Amino acid sequence: MLYPQLTSSRNLISLSGIWNFKADYKEEGYVNQWYLKGLKEYDLMPVPASYNDIAVDAALRDFVGDVWYERKVVIPKQWETENVMIRVGSASHHSKIWVNGVLVKEYTGGFLPFESTINEAIQFGEENHIVIGVNNELTWQTLPPGEAYYVEDADGNRKKKLKQQHDFFNYSGIHRPVYLYTTPRTYMEDITVQTDYEGDQGIISYQVVMNQPDEESREAVTVKIEVYDEENQLVGAAAGEKGSLQIDRVTLWQPQNAYLYKFVAKLVSKEHTLDEYSLNIGIRKVQIENGQFLINGEPFYFKGFGKHEDMDVKGKGLDDAMNIRDFNLLKWIHANSFRTSHYPYAEEVLDLADRYGIVVIDEVPAVGMLGQAVPAIGELDGVFTDEKINDETLKEHIRLTREMIARDKNHPSVVMWSLANEASVMEPRAEAYFKELAEAARKMDDRPLLNVNLMLIEPGKCKVSKYFDVIGLNLYFGWYSERGDIDAGKRRLKQWLQECHEAEKKPILLSEYGVDTIAGLHKEPAIMFSEEFQVQFLKAYHEVFDQLPFVIGEHVWNFADFMTGQDLVRIDGNKKGVFTRQRQPKMAAHYLRERWGSITNTHSK
Ligand code: E9O
């Protein structure tokens, strides 16, 4: 699915802004046909934004169920001859779109875009009524998994609650932009670009998928490709739906040194351009060889973070200011990469990663698949995933992986797919589950695959690592175990990593390690939660990583403090950020800046 774009052949109207909004506390929206009759006594709500923290209302913050968004929009008369689409960047977690009372789209998945043609439902040149219903419940067949249930409040009223198993707050609502856009009747539905190089010659292979309702004109339409460099010089051209072209004296897309070419695709009929679309592409190569992760033939050492889309007030709503601030901080701290823990981030974020030269590990929302009763280390057998996670969940896992890859495949910043966070289990059925998942993903794209394990699976006991290229480990010795004892944690860490490598013989990425830290809390000697403790913990871990050549990277948990559900161990959220939630540095940020500034992207040990 191509991101909406204003081109010589396509129109674009943003529906971001203020919508009418109503949370359906009494579950009456469907009965009273709000999608057709409209909302009465509504509130105002910004789009994109999570609705939870906008009002001053605990009931809305913790609301579980259906909310309704409504907006009226005039659709230009001139659009009558075009194919008109509505597209939502993401809404968490289950959505329906009605246009003038007609249901045009239903979609499950909280972190990926969905769209529909709406020609049949709209009145051109007149006002149209758009309603988007969003439900934030989770089931055992959604990702992330969870379960809604009812409780009775003090007055005996039924109230819905959500059992969720992942750490981050279940922010809900329309999180990414809503667009109306047009394409010509015959248009490009998808473009795939793959890159490589030999010597100083870049190689671009591409494929264009056309949508051509009118069979008769089939032969008459041809695809034309042009590639421009950053100085806007034409450097390559090709024709045909599928093909490849060479770029002489190529400038590669390099980590922290991005170079983007403009790939322009046109559908041409009798010298007339029917449709036009362009992509920013980077020419680069990713390989795994001799236990090393190579970008453009050079070993790449991941320095960075697991992140979240999370901020004050807006929750998970896309925010350009915050995103650019984040990329500036990544640059400042000399990070070269991040993981989109624990869901695919906005396409707008990946565009920035392409431009800033930040390497991305793109993750599906497979998080919280471990039952809530956390067992002790090594005592996992049989207790891991809830029984309710089944083949239907796997189907959903594969579908969302397919949609993530289809959406993100053309981003040079994306170098690896992460198919699960802390989900692989020791019980026998995990093996078949992950085998099928990894095999399906390999058919979709040739980037390496990452599986992220947590510290409950002892080295060598993971039944699914064999299906993956890189092993991600979330390790917290000295925090969740050996609590407060960094020395003991360090000893355990080293042994663990060595045994894990011995057993799996695969590159290891530290995909999470870190400690909750209250900004401004200072203690000497250090104790848990102090800024000093965070620095000492990170230093100890780095001393171990620097001795082990098979460790191919370090992603600190987390880039910034983030909101979670209410819990005894969560004081106003998860405080493992190196930056505060307002994106100001803790002491550890200065320490990391020094470390990462002094080791190269290759970090040969
Ligand atoms: C997932 C991430 O979303 N990993 C968690 C992070 C955390 O800070 C969370 O925010 O809690 C770490 C999981 C570690 C579990 C260790 C249990 C060990 C018991 C002995």
* Stretch 434-443: mean pLDDT: 97
Q: How many angstroms separate the CA atoms of 243 and 236, rounded? A: 12
How large is the average pLDDT for residues 355-378? 81
Query: β-strands 127-135, 66-74: how paired?
Result: antiparallel
Mean pLDDT confidence for 462-486: 96
Structure tokens at 492: 């355990």
Same domain, 448 and 558: yes
**Tokens linked to 579:** 């930056």
Residues 6+ apart with CB under 8 A from 147: 138, 139, 140, 162, 163, 388
Same domain, 136 and 199: no
Chain center to CA of 583: 20
Q: Is the pLDDT of residue 128 over 90?
A: yes
Q: Cβ(565) to ligand 1 under 6 A? A: no
**Helix pair 429-444, 391-408: axis angle to 10 deg:** 20
Mean pLDDT computed over 358-385: 72
Q: Tell the residue number behind the tokens 């650019």, with chain if given.
A: 324
Q: 125 C-alpha to center of ligand 1: Å?
A: 54
376 to each of 401, 452, 456, how far by Cα in Å? 31, 18, 7
Q: Ligand 1, atom 2: nearest CA belongs to which residue?
A: 167
Identify whether residues 72 and 87 lie together within a single domain.
yes
Q: Are residues 272 and 322 in the same domain?
A: no
Alpha carbon of 22 to ligand 1 centroid (Å): 35
- If you search the block for the tokens 């970008």, which residue do you land on? 295
Does residue 603 belong to any structural domain of this protein?
A: no
Q: Which of 164, 370, 383, 512 to mutate to test the pocket of ligand 1 (most atoms within 8 A of CB)?
A: 512
Give me the residues paired with residue 574 across strands. 562
**Which residue of 166, 167, 475 sits with most ligand 1 atoms within 8 Å of its CB, as the best mutation to test the pocket?**
167
Query: Do 264 and 314 have their domain in common?
Result: no
- Do 75 and 105 share a domain, yes or no? yes
- Cβ(167) to ligand 1 under 6 A? yes
Whether the per-residue pLDDT at 24 is higher than 80: the answer is yes
pLDDT at 552 over 80: yes
Does 530 lie in the same domain as 407? Answer: yes
Asked if the structure places residue 469 within a domain, the reply is yes
- The verdict on 301 and 416 lying in the same domain is yes
Considering the domain architecture, whether residues 419 and 333 belong to the same structural domain is answered as yes
Average confidence (pLDDT) over 398-408? 98
Mean pLDDT of the chain: 94
Atom 17 of ligand 1: nearest residue by CA position: 480
C-alpha 150 – ligand 1 centre gap (Å): 28
From 36, 321, 83, select the one nearest 186 (Cα to Cα).
83
Give nearest CA residue, ligand 1 atom 13: 454
Q: Cα of 6 to ligand 1 centre, how many Å?
A: 43
Do 118 and 261 lie in one domain? The reply is no
| Residue located nearest, by CA, to atom 9 of ligand 1 | 167
Stated length of the chain: 605
Task: Please indicate, yes or no, if residue 553 is contained in any of the structural domains.
Answer: yes
Count of structural domains, the chain:
3
Q: Which of 40-44, 215-219, 552-556, 585-589 has the lowest mean pLDDT?
A: 215-219
**Confidence grade of residue 383 (pLDDT, cut at 50, 70, 90):** very low
Ligand 1 contact, 454 CB (< 6 A) = yes
Residue 363 beta carbon below 6 angstroms from any ligand 1 atom? no
What atom in ligand 1 is closest to the CA of residue 375? 19
Angstrom distance (rounded) from CA 268 to CA 220: 8
Q: Which atom of ligand 1 is nearest to the CA of 455?
A: 16
Residues in a beta bridge with 46: 18
Instruction: Give, using CA atoms, the residue closest to atom 1 of ligand 1.
Output: 167
Alpha carbons 318 and 69: distance in angstroms, whole number:
17
Pocket test for ligand 1, best of 340, 372, 455 (most atoms within 8 A of CB): 455
Q: Is the CB of 377 under 6 A from ligand 1?
A: yes
Q: What phi, psi does 380 have (nearest 5°)?
A: -90, -30
Residue 573 lies in a domain: yes
Residue 481 Cβ < 6 Å to ligand 1: yes
Q: What is the mean pLDDT of residues 470-495?
A: 97
Q: Which active-site residues does the annotation give?
A: 422, 512
Average pLDDT over residues 293-322: 98
Q: Is 452's pLDDT higher than 70?
A: yes
Last residue of a domain, one of 257, 281, 305: 281
Q: Are residues 179 and 207 in the same domain?
A: no
Mutate to test the pocket of ligand 1, among 574, 575, 578, 581 (most ligand atoms within 8 A of CB): 574
Work out the average pLDDT over 85-105.
Answer: 98
Span 492-543, pLDDT tens digits:
999 999 999 999 999 999 999 999 999 999 999 999 999 999 999 999 999 9
For residue 41, count CB atoms less than 10 angstroms from its CB and return exposed for 0-12, middle for 13-18, buried for 19 or more: exposed
User: 422 C-alpha to center of ligand 1: Å?
Assistant: 9
Q: How confident is the model at residue 384 (pLDDT cuts 50, 70, 90)?
A: very low
Looking at residue 216, its pLDDT comes to 56
Looking up residue 80, the CATH number of its domain turns out to be 2.60.120.260
CA separation for the pair 509, 556 (Å, rounded): 11
Residue 169 alpha carbon to ligand 1 centre in Å: 14
pTM of this prediction exceeds 0.95: yes
**What's the pLDDT at 4?**
98
Going by pLDDT thresholds of 50, 70 and 90, the confidence category of residue 605 is confident
ipTM: 0.98
Residue 504 falls inside a structural domain? yes
- Residue 426: the pLDDT is 59
Among the listed ranges 153-167, 333-347, 462-476, 563-577, which one has the minimum average pLDDT value? 153-167
Does residue 529 line the site of ligand 1, with CB under 6 A? no
Q: Measured from the CA of 481, which atom of ligand 1 is nearest? A: 20
Across the beta sheet with 261-269, what order do the strands follow? 234-239, 221-228, 261-269, 272-281
Pocket lining: 516 vs ligand 1, CB cutoff 6 Å: no
Q: Is the pLDDT of residue 376 over 70?
A: no
Same domain for 511 and 547?
Answer: yes
The pLDDT of residue 219: 60
The atom number, within ligand 1, closest to the CA of 562 reads 10
State residue 365's pLDDT score: 97
- pLDDT exceeds cutoff 60 at 374: no
User: Domain end: 123, 158, 183, which one?
Assistant: 183
490 CB-side CA count, 13 A: 15
Domain boundary among 183, 218, 252: 183
In this model, does residue 371 exceed pLDDT 90? Answer: no
Has residue 327 been placed in a domain? yes
Is any ligand 1 atom within 6 A of the Cβ of residue 370? no
Model confidence at 369, pLDDT cuts 50, 70, 90, reads confident
| Among protein residues, the one whose CA lies closest to atom 3 of ligand 1 | 167
Instruction: Residue 557: give its domain's CATH number.
Output: 3.20.20.80
Structural domain range at position 85: 12-183
Return the pLDDT at 215.
64
Ranges of H-type helices in 53-194: 58-61
Does pLDDT of 382 surpass 50?
no
Q: What is the CATH number of the domain that holds 272?
A: 2.60.40.10
Q: Quickly state the pLDDT bin for 423 (edges 50, 70, 90).
A: confident
Provide mean pLDDT across the span 108-126.
Answer: 98
| Residue range 181-239, pLDDT digits in tens | 999 999 999 999 999 999 999 999 999 999 987 665 566 899 999 999 999 999 999 99
